[in-house]
Amino acid sequence: MLTLICVSLLWVPQVVLSAEVNILSERQEFLLRPFLDVFQEQTGIKANVVYLKKGSLERLKQQPGAVDALLTVDIANLTAIADAGLFQPINSSVINKNVPSKYRNPDGLWTALTARARVIYYSRERVKLNELSTYKALADAKFANRICTRSGYNKYNVALISSMIAEHGVAEAKKWLQGLKNNLARKPQGNDRGQVKAIYQGQCDVAIGNTYYMVKMLERDDQRPWAASVGIFFPNQNNRGTHMNVSGGAVTKSAVNKKEAVRLLEFLSGDLAQFMYAQVNHEYPVKSGVQYSGIVKSFGSGQEGVKKGVFKQDKRNLSEIGSYRKKAIQILDEVNYDK
């Protein structure tokens, strides 16, 4: 039934396009294109896209006026480009209604479009749920030689460290990061899925990763055993809540087609696109009332206080977290995390 729903949502007939918007996207084409097809059908606006894995800041500096809207996959990128003065206020009552204030820049320079939880993956065989509690507790001695992570400089880890600075201050965050490094079972390496593979292979018991990677692994025959070997734990449910990162969008300062760029972001924050994000990409919608996918509802099963994937999220505005990005990188250097 879900497949039929998704297919019906993504089918669009030929339309005459009377306007255009030029997009720079860090999201992969196979994820974004279905949304843009529906957007074009509903609005008559042609969506021209350049896909770029990294280097968006440099591209916007080099080609002013060539890009109207930026779609990116991390709060650090949104913060860095906003700090460089390359965005302009979106000024949309639609987006303000659709997206909670914690997921929007206070000056209207960017908006989140989806959320992703940075969770603890744990071995179902070697870890008991009562061993797990908070991010900070991962620095405890009981986890010595039991933790795997990807590079500390990965954008998702930088955002997590930034959130630790926001919550505990620089000194405590640095102490925590040193403790986390001391507990590593191996040198930081690989991606989020690679950490789950390491748990499956017995190299470590615990790892940090984004929730949607579980779905990506379940979709592949060769990685399904990795996914089956771990559970998902949402940290900090008794205090600040689990750290959230986002994909997001913004209107460039030099946008030629500003009106069309705003309409794109309004569409992506609306009911239909948010439902598609949830059901097709298995991310968390930022608009309230949109149903999670079935697999996402299963995350955290057996964890006290988590029901059908609903968990306590960190309420801190992501702009504040993003503001500590440089400090996060500084303490990563100081503890030589990746070495």
Domain CATH code at residue 201:
3.40.190.10
Six-digit token string for 192: 């989020």
Q: Are residues 262 and 319 in the same domain?
A: no
Q: Are residues 84 and 19 in the same domain?
A: yes
Q: Are residues 49 and 150 in the same domain?
A: no
With residues binned 3-state (H G I as helix, E B as strand, rest as coil), the percentages for the chain, rounded to 5, are 45, 20, 40
50 DSSP 8-state letter: E
Q: Are residues 175 and 281 in the same domain?
A: no
Domain around 180: 117-243+296-334
Does any domain span residue 339?
no
Alpha helices in 106-257 (DSSP H): 155-168, 170-182, 192-200, 212-218, 224-228
The single-letter code of the amino acid at 261 is A
Q: Are residues 143 and 77 in the same domain?
A: no
CA distance 211 to 121: 9
Q: Are residues 187 and 306 in the same domain?
A: yes
Does any domain span residue 158?
yes
Residue 28, pLDDT score:
84
Q: Are residues 106 and 164 in the same domain?
A: no
Residue 11, pLDDT score:
47
Helix (H) or strand (E) segment spanning residue 276: helix 271-276
For the chain (length 339 residues), average pLDDT per consecutive 10? 46 63 91 92 96 90 94 90 96 98 96 96 97 98 98 96 98 98 98 97 97 91 97 97 96 98 98 93 94 93 90 94 95 98
282 sits in the region (left: phi over 0; alpha: psi -120 to 50; else beta) called left
Q: For 85-88, which contacts have Cβ atoms below 8 Å and span 24 or more sequence positions?
A: 85/253, 86/57, 86/60, 86/61, 86/252, 86/253, 86/254, 87/250, 87/251, 87/252, 87/253, 88/251, 88/252, 88/253, 88/255, 88/258
Does any domain span residue 133?
yes
Residue 305 CA neighbour count, 13 Å, CB half: 14
> What domain count does the chain have?
2
Q: Are residues 177 and 225 in the same domain?
A: yes
Q: Are residues 131 and 235 in the same domain?
A: yes
Contact 172, 154 (CB under 8 A): no
Residue 5, pLDDT score:
45
Does any domain span residue 233?
yes
Q: Are residues 143 and 272 in the same domain?
A: no
Residue 2, pLDDT score:
44
247 DSSP 8-state letter: E
Residue closest to 232 by CA, chosen among 248, 215, 245: 215
Residue 70, pLDDT score:
97
Alpha helices in 21-169 (DSSP H): 29-43, 56-62, 75-83, 93-98, 155-168
CA distance 28 to 268: 15
Does any domain span residue 67?
yes
Q: Are residues 191 and 324 in the same domain?
A: yes
Residue 280, pLDDT score:
86
Six-digit token string for 305: 């206080």
CA distance 339 to 335: 9
Q: Are residues 181 and 234 in the same domain?
A: yes
In DSSP terms, which residues pair with 245 in a beta bridge? Answer: 116
